[in-house]
Amino acid sequence: MAKEVIFYNLAPHVTDEQYKEYVVNEKGPLLESFESVNKFTLVKISHSVKGEIPYKYVGILDINNLADFTQNVIPSEKFQGFLAKWSTMVQPDFHSLIGEEVF
């Protein structure tokens, strides 16, 4: 099973409360509507053992069909519309990683 993990911070004009409302009402349901996505999880980071929190948010996509996700979902108009809106809500230095679940 594949995972996409996205690390990011909110843009200065977006509050945690505004973003939570957006995730609950739009982002989460949209991402989970794609057949190649099993689940979307958003984690708001509140503690770091080292004391430094470079990214306040971590989004985790549980992907059941990586080929479909990369070849059909990402280039789709629906996903690109989501990205256009999402990118206005986060700082541009976000980091996205995709890998296979080991355990």
- The pLDDT tens digits of the residues spanning 28-63 come to 999 999 999 999 999 999 999 999 999 999 999 999
The pTM assigned to this predicted structure is 0.92
- 3-state class (DSSP) for residue 50: coil
Summary count for the chain: helices (H), strands (E): 4, 4
b vs e for 27-55, b when ≥16 Cβ sit within 10 Å of the residue's Cβ? Answer: bbebbeebebbeebebeeeeeeeeeeeee
Is domain 2-100 annotated with CATH 3.30.70.100?
yes
The domain limits of the chain are 2-100
